[in-house]
Amino acid sequence: MPHRYYWIFFIFLAIGSCHQATDRRPDYVVQGIDVSHHQSWIDWSLLPDQGIHFAYIKATEGGDLVDSLFRYNWCEAQSVGIRRGAYHYFRPNAPVLDQVLNYIREVDLEPGDLPPVLDVETMDGVTNEQLVEKVRAWLTMVEIHYRTKPILYSYQRFYNQHLASAFSDYPVWIARYSERVPELRPLKEWHFWQYGDRGELAGIKGPVDFNAFSGNPVDLEELLVKPQVLAAPSRPPAGAKP
């Protein structure tokens, strides 16, 4: 090939690799997807037979946005037996309480659902200190409301740079589009790995994100929302007046 055409060849090669379909990872037994209105109307009935065990569904964003297909996806995932979870896309420059209320108004978690997820991947002009404070407030309020610990989602570089030191006690879902597993600081293990964004499945038009769970099916069951057990009323002391 003439030297002057080398650069043209490599440009086309790079463009082609960006659009290459994501292959499923056979080294993880529990596989899932995450979806939003960008996937349009999904035929959920076709997904269980393709080895999809769980799905995270976009519910809300910021203080007032609700994904237009959340309710449909939420109900359909449950109807076909796929473990479902709902995520909120965080806007650091929007009031935290508005974002919490937006999420809990839309998401009615039931026993057997996956924990809430907070998707944090932009600064929106705030400082790192402000970001940490706002993220912690959302996680705390949502945990109190649902009585289950939320999961923190981000891509690897953003998590390591802005979140790792402050949220080491929270489960993590990491986006890293690579053959290499996520590498988190400080030596933290991940629960979910979004390893590609160009998956192909029957029932979904266009690309979809592929995810792997770090453990086995029993481990996934342990992570699910548990039934809430109400404490029995205490008996009054002997001799106390009614």
Amino acid identity, position 132: V
Structure tokens at 214: 């770090």
DSSP secondary structure, 122-186, as one string? --TT--HHHHHHHHHHHHHHHHHHHTS--EEEEEHHHIIIIITTT-TTS-EEEE--SSSPP-BTT
What's the sign of the alpha-carbon dihedral 75, 115, 60, 82? Answer: negative
Kindly list the catalytic residues: 34, 121
Helix (H) or strand (E) run with residue 13 in it:
helix 6-18
Q: How many Å apart are CA 71 and CA 4, to the nearest integer?
A: 54
Amino acid identity, position 55: A
* Closest-CA residue to 31 (of 78, 89, 83): 83
DSSP three-state, residue 211: strand
Q: How many Å apart are CA 36 and CA 58, to the nearest integer?
A: 5
Largest CA distance in the chain: 101
